[in-house]
Amino acid sequence: QQQVKQSPQSLIVQKGGISIINCAYENTAFDYFPWYQQFPGKGPALLIAIRPDVSEKKEGRFTISFNKSAKQFSLHIMDSQPGDSATYFCAASTGGKLIFGQGTELSVKP
């Protein structure tokens, strides 16, 4: 019940394309859903986050879509750039601790 399942495990996108990463959860008590970006050898950096009372949130090229009834949420990266190549983690939390998905390694080809 505490799991967050993330897919795909890896993703290759052409420059300018749309990258889409999906996550699913079981625990309906989760009330905060952030996405983190991590480059090799670095700590995770918060990208964007959403709460379940909102179905979509957009910040620049990054959009979270949230489907409360399906218990799914996704990250869309528009106009993907080579500099976006990194590992992306979704997470869910309630009461403080973050439960992370397994990560998606994104590679954007020039």
| Residues at the contact surface with another protein, assessed by CB under 8 A | 6, 31-32, 34, 36, 42-46, 49, 89, 93, 95-103
| Least distance (Å) between residue 56 CB and another protein | 19
The DSSP secondary-structure symbol of 32 reads B
Which amino acid, one-letter code, is at 91? A
Nearer to another protein, 4 or 13 (CB): 4
On the question of a cis peptide bond just before residue 8, with omega within 30 degrees of 0, the verdict is yes
Nearer to another protein, 1 or 110 (CB): 1
Please tell me the distance from the alpha carbon of residue 57 to that of residue 39, in angstroms, as a whole number: 23
- Tokens 């869910």 locate to 92
| Least distance (Å) between residue 85 CB and another protein | 17
| Least distance (Å) between residue 71 CB and another protein | 18
Nearer to another protein, 65 or 93 (CB): 93
Please tell me the distance from the alpha carbon of residue 60 to that of residue 67, in angstroms, as a whole number: 21
Q: Torsion over CA of 42, 57, 15 and 89, rounded to 10 degrees?
A: 30
| Least distance (Å) between residue 16 CB and another protein | 29
Nearer to another protein, 26 or 79 (CB): 26
